[in-house]
Amino acid sequence: MRGRGCRRSGRLLWRYLAACWKLRRPVRIRDWEMALPAPRLSLVQLGLAVTDVALAGAVLFVLLPVADVPFAVFLGVYVAAVATGLASHVSGGLGVFESVVLFALPTSAPNPELVASLVAYRAIYYICPFAIGLLAIGGEALLRHRLRVAGYAGAVSKGITLVAPRVLTFATFLAGAILLASGATPSMGSRLGLLGQVLPLGAVELSHFLASVVGVGLLLLARALQLRLNAAWALTLALLVAGAVLSLLKGIAFEEASALLLTASALALSRRHFRRRSSLWDHRFTPGWIVAIALVLAGTTWLGFFAHKHVEYSSDLWWTFQLKRDAPRFLRASVGVAAAVAAFGLARLLRPARRRVGPATAAETEEATGIALAARETQAQLVALGDKAILFSESRRSFLMYGTAGRSWVAMGDPVGEAAEAEELAWEFRERCDAVGGWPVFYEVSPERLPLYVDLGLSLFKLGGEARVPLGGFTLDSPGRKRLRQTHVKLLREGCTFALWEPAEVRARLAELQAVSDAWLAGRRTREKGFSLGFFSPEYVGRMPAAVVFHQGRLVAFATVWRGGEREELSVDLMRQLDDAPASTMEFLFIKMLLLGSSEGYRWFNLGMAPFSGIETHALAPLWNRIGALLFQRGGDFYNFRGLRAYKEKFDPVWRPRYLATPGGLIVPQVLASVGSLVSRGLTGIVRK
C-alpha cells in the first residue's frame, strides 16, 4: 500500500517536471489560469522541498529513540506521515502525523518515549519558529507605527496612574486585615514546634504582638496611600516588609509573608505615583473609611474569640507564656491593637485645628498678582480683586485662589503658576477642606485639567462655553465680518474714538472711570458682583490697563484689560458704559481690542463665558445637563443666556468648555447656591440684581 502511494507520488512529480519543461504557455481551465514556472525554477523548487523534508525528518530522527532503524527507512515513514497529515485537512496534521509515525515505524522503542519525542519535535519545528516570526512581525509593526503606539502607551500610562494607587490602597488595607486575622487565629502546631527549636519563646511572643500592631498600622496608612502621600509610601513599604518578617518569626506563615512581600514589591515599583509632600496627620478619614476599619477590627476580634472559644477564660491567661498557647497571645495582641487605635485617635483629636482663612492680605494679593500677570490664561488675574483667600505652593511660584460659603470651599479656576505644582496645590486644598469637613469645589476649570479633578474623586459638570477669538491675522476685511465692519465704520462716523490707558494713566483718571461706573450701576439698579467677575474698586482698577471709548470727546465707556503672559491671551473684565452712549459702543470697543491684540501678536482674545451653552440635551444625558440646557433655552425671564451666546457669536469665536468639579450627589444644589452666594457677594445678591 505504502509502495503504491510512493510510486504514484513519484509519477506525479515527474509529470509536473515534464510539464514545466515542455509547456511554455499558461495552463487555462475555464476562467482559471496558472503560469507554470520555468524548468530551472522547478528544479530549484524540487531541491528546496527535498532539503526541507530531509532536514525536518533529521530533526525528528535525532529526537526519536530509533537507533535500530536506518535513516532512509525512517525518512520514508516521515514522508508518508506528512502526506497523510496533509490529506486529512487537519491543521498541521495534528494527531494524524503522530499516529502514522507511531504505528508505521518499525522500532522496539516504547511508545511513551516516542510520544515525548514527537511533542519535542512539534515545539522545535513549529512553536519556536512561530514565536520568532511573531516577535519579528510584531517588532516591525511597532517600529512602523511607533508614534501611534507611543500615544497608546501614554494613554495606558495615564490609566495606570489613575488605577495603581487605588489598587495598592486596597492591597495595603487587605494586608493589614490579613495580619490581624492571622494574629487572632491559632498557628500551625508543627510550624511552631520547628520555630521553637530555632528561636527563644520571647522572640515568638514579641513577633506575634508586633505583627498585629503592624496590621492596624497598615489599615490606617491605606487612607494616606489613597491620597498619594510620599511619607505614607515610605512608611507603608517599611511596615509591609516588617510584617512579612514578623509573619515568619511568629509561626513560619510563609503564605501571608509572600502576600505582604508581593504588595511591597508592587508598591516599591510605583514610587512615582506617590509624590505628594504632606503631613500624615492632615488628612481626614471619611465615614466610609471609619466604617471599613471598624468592621475589620470588630471582625478579627470576633474571629479570635470564636477560634479560642474552647479555652476557658481566666485572668491567668494574660500572663501565660507558652509556645503552643495561642489564646494568651491573641488577648495581648488585641490590647496592643486597641492601644494603637486609641493613641492614633487621641493624637488626631489633640492636634491644632485649622482656622478658616479669610481674604488674603494686601501683601499676599500683590505677590499672587505678580504670578498671575505672567500666566498664559488671563482668568488668573481675578486674584487682584482681593476678595479671595490664597493658597501658595511651597516654592511660592504658584497659587490657588478660593472663597468659602457654608461648607463649600470654592477654588476659582485651575491652580496658577508652575504646571508641575498644580497637582500638589489641588491636593493640599482638598486636605484643608477635609480638615474642617468642607466640600472641595473647583469653579470654571479648563478641560486640560480634568484628569486632576477626577483623580481627586470629584464629579464634573459642564458650566457652558468660553468664547475665544483667534487673533492670528485677524482683520475686518473678510466676508464673514461684514457686520463688524459696518459697526466699526458707523461708530467712527459718529465721532467715537478708542484709546488704551496704561495703569499709570488709569490711576490718574480714576475719577472719570468711577463716574461712568456709578452711572451704569444706578441705571440698572444693580450692585457689584465679585469672585468670578470684577467689581469697581480703586485698588483693582488701578492695577490694570483700561480700554476707553470717547464720543465727541466725552468718556462714554471703558473696560479693564487683562494681558496674558507670553502674549497667549488678551481679555477684558469690568465693562461699563453710559446709558446715552451710542448704540453698539461696547461692540466697537471689542472690535478695537481685537485689532489691537492682533497687531501686538496675541494669539487669542477671550470674550468670556456663555453660561449653559453647548450642554448636551440628549434624553439620556445626566440630569444636570438637561437642567442646564433647559435654562439656556427657557431661562430668558431670569437671564438672557441665548442672547449672550448670540452676541458673542458675532465675533466668530472658538468655543471652549468650562467645568465645575465638585463632590457629587445631593450636595450639588448646595454647592451651586454657595457659588452663587460668592459671585453675588452674599445670599441676598442671588435674588437681587
- Looking at residue 628, its pLDDT comes to 47
Q: Is the pLDDT of residue 646 over 70?
A: yes
Chain segment 623-641, per-residue pLDDT in tens = 555 554 444 444 444 445 6
Residue 573: helix, strand or coil by DSSP? strand
Q: Which CATH class is domain 474-602?
A: alpha beta
Is the pLDDT assigned to residue 147 strictly greater than 70? Answer: no
pLDDT number for residue 616: 55
Amino acid at 208: H
Give 260 or 675, the one with higher predicted confidence. 260
Find the mean pLDDT for residues 70-85. 77
Average pLDDT, the chain: 81
- The DSSP H or E segment spanning 571 is strand 569-577
**Span 82-103, pLDDT tens digits:** 777 777 777 767 777 777 777 7
- In the prediction, which pLDDT does 5 show? 45
pLDDT for 686 equals 46
pLDDT-derived band at 172 (thresholds 50, 70, 90) equals: very high
In this predicted model, what pLDDT tens digit does every residue of 485-505 receive, in sequence order? 999 999 999 999 999 999 999
Tell me 276's DSSP state. Answer: B
Bridge partners (DSSP) listed for residue 222: none
- Residue listed under C-alpha cell 475555464: 30
**41 burial type by CB count under 10 A (0-12 exposed, 13-18 middle, 19+ buried):** exposed
Predicted pLDDT of residue 2: 45
pLDDT of 137 over the 90 cut:
no
| pLDDT tens for each residue of 303-360 | 888 888 887 777 777 777 777 777 888 888 888 888 888 888 877 776 655 555 678 8
Q: Which position has the higher pLDDT, 424 or 280?
A: 424
Q: What's the pLDDT tens digit per position in 653-668?
A: 999 999 989 887 778 7
Query: Do the beta carbons of residue 613 and residue 465 sit within 8 Å?
Result: yes
- Select, from the ranges 142-151, 328-337, 436-445, 490-499, the one with the highest average predicted confidence (pLDDT): 490-499
For the stretch 501-559, pLDDT in tens is 999 999 999 999 999 999 998 887 777 888 888 889 999 999 999 999 999 999 999 99
* pLDDT number for residue 432: 83
Counting residues of the chain whose pLDDT is more than 90, the rounded percentage is 30
Q: What is the dihedral of CA 312, 315, 321, 322, to 10 degrees?
A: -20
Q: What is the DSSP string of 314-358?
A: -GGGGG---TT-HHHHHHHHHHHHHHHHHHHHHHHHHSPPPPPP-
- If pLDDT is split at 50, 70 and 90, which confidence band does 379 have? very high
CA–CA separation, 334 and 220 (whole Å): 16
pLDDT of residue 4 exceeding 60: no
- Residue 505: partners with Cβ closer than 8 Å, 6 or more residues away: none
Whether the per-residue pLDDT at 400 is higher than 90: the answer is yes
Stretch 432-439: mean pLDDT: 79
Regarding predicted confidence, which is higher, 150 or 20? 20
Report whether pLDDT(24) > 80: no
pLDDT score of 57 more than 80: no
d(CA 422, CA 438): 20
> What is the average per-residue pLDDT within 573-598?
93
Q: What is the 3-state secondary structure (H, E, C) of 245-273?
A: HHHHHHHCCHHHHHHHHHHHHHHHHCHHH
Mean pLDDT of 145-168: 62
What ranges do the domains of the chain cover?
2-140, 165-350, 474-602
Asked if residue 557 lies in contact with residue 576, where contact means CB atoms within 8 angstroms, the answer is yes
Taking each helix axis from N to C end, the angle separating 2-22 and 39-63, rounded to the nearest 10 degrees, works out to 150
> Above 60 in pLDDT, residue 483?
yes
Range of weakest confidence among 22-26, 108-112, 164-168, 466-470: 108-112
Q: What is the 3-state secondary structure (H, E, C) of 374-396?
A: HCCCHHHHHHHHCCCEEEECCCC
Residue 124 pLDDT level (bands cut at 50, 70, 90): confident
Predicted confidence (pLDDT) at residue 576 exceeds the cutoff of 90: yes
pLDDT of residue 8: 55
HEC secondary structure over 378-445:
HHHHHHHHCCCEEEECCCCCCEEEEEEECCEEEEECCCECCHHHHHHHHHHHHHHHHHCCCEEEEEEE
Average pLDDT over residues 569-598: 93
Following CA atoms 664, 667, 668, 672 in sequence, which dihedral angle do they give, to the nearest 10 degrees?
Answer: -150
Asked whether residue 416 carries a pLDDT value surpassing 60, the answer given is yes
- In the chain, what percentage of residues exceed pLDDT 70? 82
689/673 Cα distance (integer angstroms) = 16
Query: What are the tens digits of pLDDT across the range 194-247?
Result: 777 777 888 888 888 898 999 999 999 998 888 788 888 889 999 999 999 988
Distance from C-alpha of 213 to C-alpha of 334, rounded to nearest angstrom: 9
pLDDT at 633: 46
